[in-house]
Amino acid sequence: MVNFAVLVLPLIAGLFFGYLLRERKKVNLAKVTLGIILILIFSLGFTIGSNNELLGSMSSVGLSALLMALLAIGFSVLFVALIRRRVRI
């Protein structure tokens, strides 16, 4: 996991600055967050769109893959919902 440190650093930096800003008045992050999410999602889409191998795989195995993805999501959600009734998380 080469990515871990790279991902954790901005997160920790954010936590630290957030903690410092805690006593200040209201900080409205909603608009900044939405803007940055849209840029992130756009570049994710761009990455998918420029990957011909990925687009090709979608047309050949699309429906079977959709069923598998739905089942994996469905059982993950079901298990988490069930376990949350037993363990308080």
| Residues 12-51 within binding reach of another protein (CB under 8 A) | 12-22, 27, 29, 32-34, 36-51
Compute the least distance from the CB of residue 28 to another protein, in Å: 10
* 9/19 Cα distance (integer angstroms): 15
Q: Which long-range contacts (CB under 8 A, 24 or more apart) does 53-58 make?
A: none
Q: Which residues ranging from 57 to 86 are in contact with another protein (CB under 8 A)?
A: 57-58, 60-62, 64-84
2 lies in the binding site for another protein (CB under 8 A): no
Least Å distance between CB 82 and another protein? 8
Q: Provide the angle, in degrees to the nearest 10, between the axes of the packed helices 30-49 and 52-86.
A: 130
